[in-house]
Amino acid sequence: MDRLKDALLDYHERSKHRVNFYAPGPGGLDWATQPDPFRVFHDAPRVGLPLAADTLATRYNDLRCGALPPARAFDLFSLAILFELSLGLSAWKSYGAQRWALRCNPSSGNLHPTESYLLCPALPGLSAGVYHYVSRDHALEHRATVDDPRWTEAFSENGVLVGISSIHWREAWKYGMRAWRYCQHDCGHVIAAVSYAAAALGWQTRLVEAAADDAVADLLGLGRSEDFGEAEREAPDALLWIGNPESRPDLERMTTALEKAQWHGRANRLSSGHVAWPDIDAIHRATHKPRTREATSPDPQQRPSPDTPALDLGFATIARQRRSAVNFDGNTFIGKTAFFSMLACLLVHRDTPPWNALTSAAAVHAALLVHRVDSLEAGLYLLVRNPDALPDIKQSLRPEWLWRKTGPDDLPLYFLLPYDLRAAAKFICCHQDIGADSCFAVGMIARFEMALKQPWRYRHLFWECGMLGQALYLEAEAAGVRATGIGCFFDDEMHALLGVKGHAWQSLYHFTVGGAVDDHRLSACPPYEVQA
Ligand SMILES: Cc1cc2nc3c(=O)[nH]c(=O)nc-3n(C[C@H](O)[C@H](O)[C@H](O)COP(=O)(O)O)c2cc1C
């Protein structure tokens, strides 16, 4: 275990951006080897999905308040909506001769390392098996046809599994060593995106936390050398159970049933050449997850009910209009009530998306550098997302912090320091203006020592950060402002600001929310050709 811990710490420290030197990267972009953002499996039978999201009446505000609509039947039509509003394209953008797709899920550098799969029993419109989702075409590729009653029995109740994997090279091509962290953030964003879209269909989502990486790889067909050949491999990330939250599918039975499955398709090669990043291979190995006991969901926590947001829109609209701001105006203020409501939506609530997907208690807290919130003093605040962590976190930060409870009674928000932190936020966000021009910037502070005890939890901490990010993205849209994830930050400068010493707590992701300035040089086109 010490060996794994050392490997983890080695990667964590060397993948930090520092004021005087950034984490090792490629030193420039080799456009000749730019990875294809879309994976396909050639010759796998395809199921085209209907573009059905516009038929969905669910309002975003109901979801964030935990008021899910009646559960839809699991069929092709509903599953098409699930994918369209979580991993589907949301627009094509162009500038001059360049054209690129945006998706409902964000991604560092828009590189989209995450791939997704559907595992299902026979359903109306879909035969049983394993499918790969192609967001570009809004289609499912039938990777494995399973004709074994044990497969169907393994699902036990009404429900399906969504599988998630990552192609690390897609991020490493641009970001080098730190790219592995971004792959994990992106995975967290996807977990949350799936949880919201499933909730909009009345379905609960749970991470199958017990699953070993090897089991996830087997179920998604990721180890099948004959299908990958020279193509870039996918690393197994997670399985999400969408269905009755009290039951779980029998993964061993499914794996056995897959032994006689018929697999289809060959993975496309994404780049003509690759640069090896041994540090990424090393952290991937160090954080390999064995099978563990199924965690029980955390107890429901009291939280203030969020106020209706400024834009009370349908979930489909919010999910598809989500964008990252490239610049903030440096003028916009958000209201105090809207701010508190956003923070309330970051607290774990068992059956409310996206937190219903998590089966462990909150391990990440939000340090808020508040610049422009109406009637709220500028300065440093801390949202303690798990009350059990308060004594420890208090002891681990600067002794001079005020710890003045602020906001609604049941919002665990503390005011630490009155100060204009705009320059500090910009500096910490690798000198990016959006740190200062936002209404507020966030540093996500994780209980890192749990990763040192169980290295696979390092990945889960990043996922939880990504989930917080996805919640903030949607909350910002609903409040009439915009957000941007910040993967580029000086880790130890944030630690110095807070007074964090050692490795008990570490800042793993940053975020900004503010009034966006649009880039009018870009043109936008709809995500999909309208079907006849
Ligand atoms: C993990 C992560 C890290 C990111 N880091 C930055 C960043 O440091 N600076 C920035 O301007 N945008 C950052 N972004 C925003 C991405 O560039 C953006 O998601 C991507 O271009 C796709 O655009 P969209 O979010 O509008 O779909 C980040 C996004 C994610 C998910």
DSSP letters, 388-442, are GGHHHHHHHS-TT---EEESSTTS-EEEEEE---HHHHHHHTTT-THHHHSSEEE
What are φ and ψ of residue 387, in 5° steps? -60, -30
pLDDT of residue 156: 79
- Give, using CA atoms, the residue closest to atom 26 of ligand 1: 323
Cβ of residue 109 lying under 6 Å from some atom of ligand 1: yes
- Give, using CA atoms, the residue closest to atom 16 of ligand 1: 108
pLDDT of residue 531: 52
Whether 157 has a pLDDT exceeding 80, the answer reads: no
Whether 391 has a pLDDT exceeding 60, the answer reads: yes
- Give, using CA atoms, the residue closest to atom 10 of ligand 1: 486
Cβ of residue 510 lying under 6 Å from some atom of ligand 1: no
Phi-psi region of 480 (alpha: psi -120 to 50; beta: other; left: phi over 0): left
Rounded distance from Cα 429 to ligand 1 centre (Å): 13
15, 95, 108: residue to mutate for ligand 1 pocket, most atoms within 8 A of CB? 108
Rounded distance from Cα 511 to ligand 1 centre (Å): 10
Rounded distance from Cα 182 to ligand 1 centre (Å): 10
The answer to whether 23 and 14 have CB atoms below 8 angstroms apart is yes
> How many C-beta atoms surround the C-beta of residue 259 within 10 A?
10
Q: Token digits for 42?
A: 């050639």
pLDDT of residue 160: 98
The answer to whether 24 and 177 have CB atoms below 8 angstroms apart is yes
Whether 530 has a pLDDT exceeding 70, the answer reads: no
The answer to whether 211 and 249 have CB atoms below 8 angstroms apart is no
The Cα–Cα gap between 473 and 395 comes to 31
Whether 45 has a pLDDT exceeding 60, the answer reads: yes
Q: Model confidence over 419-467: pLDDT tens digits?
A: 999 999 999 999 999 999 999 999 999 999 999 999 999 999 999 999 9
The Cα–Cα gap between 444 and 494 comes to 10
- Give, using CA atoms, the residue closest to atom 17 of ligand 1: 109
Q: What is the residue whose two structure tokens read 């004594």?
A: 391
> How many C-beta atoms surround the C-beta of residue 493 within 10 A?
19
The answer to whether 374 and 368 have CB atoms below 8 angstroms apart is no
**Minimal CA–CA distance to 493: which of 16, 78, 99?**
16
Cβ of residue 484 lying under 6 Å from some atom of ligand 1: yes
- Give, using CA atoms, the residue closest to atom 20 of ligand 1: 110
Whether 298 has a pLDDT exceeding 70, the answer reads: no
Cβ of residue 186 lying under 6 Å from some atom of ligand 1: yes
Confidence of residue 302 (pLDDT cuts 50, 70, 90): confident
Rounded distance from Cα 515 to ligand 1 centre (Å): 16
Query: Which ligand 1 atom is the nearest neighbour of the CA of 509?
Result: 1
- Return the C-alpha torsion angle 111, 106, 216, 170, nearest 10: 10
Whether 515 has a pLDDT exceeding 90, the answer reads: yes
**How confident is the model over 124-144, as a mean pLDDT?**
98
Whether 135 has a pLDDT exceeding 70, the answer reads: yes
Cβ of residue 488 lying under 6 Å from some atom of ligand 1: yes
Confidence of residue 296 (pLDDT cuts 50, 70, 90): confident
Q: Token digits for 369?
A: 């550098």
pLDDT of residue 364: 98
Confidence of residue 1 (pLDDT cuts 50, 70, 90): confident
pLDDT of residue 21: 95
Min mean pLDDT across 31-40, 151-160, 298-307, 487-496 is at 298-307
Rounded distance from Cα 326 to ligand 1 centre (Å): 9
Q: Model confidence over 72-119: pLDDT tens digits?
A: 999 999 999 999 999 999 999 999 999 999 999 999 999 999 999 999
**How confident is the model over 153-173, as a mean pLDDT?**
95
Whether 532 has a pLDDT exceeding 60, the answer reads: no
Cβ of residue 106 lying under 6 Å from some atom of ligand 1: yes
The Cα–Cα gap between 9 and 22 comes to 17
- Partners of 444 in beta bridges: 366, 509
Rounded distance from Cα 378 to ligand 1 centre (Å): 25
Its pTM stands at 0.98
According to DSSP H, which parts of 29-71 are helical?
A: 60-64
Q: Model confidence over 339-353: pLDDT tens digits?
A: 999 999 999 988 999
175, 442, 486: residue to mutate for ligand 1 pocket, most atoms within 8 A of CB? 486
According to DSSP H, which parts of 213-264 are helical?
A: 213-220, 225-228, 251-258
- Give, using CA atoms, the residue closest to atom 8 of ligand 1: 486
Q: Sign (positive/negative) of CA torsion 266, 268, 269, 270?
A: negative
Q: Model confidence over 263-279: pLDDT tens digits?
A: 999 999 999 999 999 99
**Minimal CA–CA distance to 272: which of 525, 25, 434, 31?**
31
Residues in Cβ contact with 175 at an 8 Å cutoff, skipping those fewer than 6 apart:
25, 108, 109, 182, 487
**How confident is the model over 394-416, as a mean pLDDT?**
97
Confidence of residue 303 (pLDDT cuts 50, 70, 90): confident
- Return the C-alpha torsion angle 361, 448, 411, 402, nearest 10: 150
Min mean pLDDT across 94-98, 137-141, 315-319 is at 94-98
